[in-house]
Every structure is written in structure tokens, then in C-alpha cells.
Amino acid sequence: MASRKTWYLLVDRTPKDGSWNMAVDEFLFREVKEAPLTFLRFYTWSRPTASLGYYQKTERVVDLEVCRRQGVDIVRRMTGGKLVLHHEEVTYTVASSEVDIFSTSLRESYRLVSEALILGLKRLGLEAHLAAKTPERYARGDLPCFSFPAEDEIEIKGKKLIGSAQKRVGQRFLQHGSIPLRNNASLL
């Protein structure tokens, strides 16, 4: 008989600032190191926040002065990926070290989380699916996250619906993603 898995659902109903949100995600990533464990977290942001992927160069993707004038905070994520403007959205995090569920491959675990999100979206009546290929100009450029859907990201009618990024170390990973509730292209 297989052992029953315990997952922890964390729903932060009060919006928090970007540094708090990123600190909680990093804490969850450290927690799953000790034993096979999974956390699923949903949260929101107290003010518009630009999060930069771990490897992005700040000066190439964000104008610090414009962000200051517009009241946009800036944080760096522990995951890769491109700049995301977090505002009027729901953000999710999956942190896990359960390789029997999620695999040891970054690509496979990313795809599995995306497929679970698609199932949830279908229950809401949305016809979402995985994007097939990353456009070359998007892959090599400094465009923001929601410019184009990348391979295995969630799209509807060719438009990216959820932007996600993952960090993996050995058997543990953290994947978080942005689910915008409104189009904030003008602020971006």
C-alpha cells in the first residue's frame, strides 16, 4: 500500500510587499530540503512590483527612476525567467522534494505543474493549453515575461495566460507563477 502524501496549502489572504513574498518562497524552498514534502501557496501583492529573474541585469530590463516615480517596487526572484509586473494578479508557488510525484527533471516538473494549472482553468471554463515552442526573439531578448508564451507555458488563443519560473537543486524545486487578473500593459 502506498503511503499517503501530506501537502500544505497556504493561502495568504492579505496582500504583502514583494520582499516578504520572495522571502516566504525562499523559506518554503529551504523547508522541502529536510524531507519529502510539498507546499502549495497562493498570494497577492500589496503594491505593483517588478520581479526580475535571477540572471537578469537590472539596468537592461527596468528603469529604476520610472519605477520610483510610479510607485513600483522592485525585487529579484530566486528563479530564472523574465521581468514580471505583479499587480492585480494571483501568484502561486509550488515547493516540493517529492520526486515520485514531480520527477527529478526541471522540464518535466515544470510541465506537470502547468498541466495541473490547465486542469484548474478548464474547470473554470477556460480552454487553455501548453504552448508548443518559444519564439527565438523572445528566448534571446529582454522582453517582459508576458510578451510571448514560451514552450510549456499556459496560453489561450496564442496569448500567455500564466507566466512561471522554476529553480531546482537536486531533488527539490520551487516553481512560482503569475496569474494576471487584469491587463496592466500601460503600467508595464
Give the pairing of strands 7-11 and 49-52: unpaired
| Closest residue by Cα to residue 128 from 179, 69, 68, 78 | 179
Annotated catalytic residue within 145, 150, 165, 174: 145
Q: Collect all residues with Cβ–Cβ distance below 8 Å to 45 and sequence separation of at least 6.
A: 15, 16, 17, 18, 21, 86, 87, 89, 91
Q: How far apart are CA 10 and CA 97, in angstroms?
A: 17
In what helix (H) or strand (E) does residue 112 lie, and over which residues does it extend? helix 106-123
Amino acid at 58: T
Active-site annotation holds for 145: yes
Q: Provide the annotated active-site residues.
A: 145
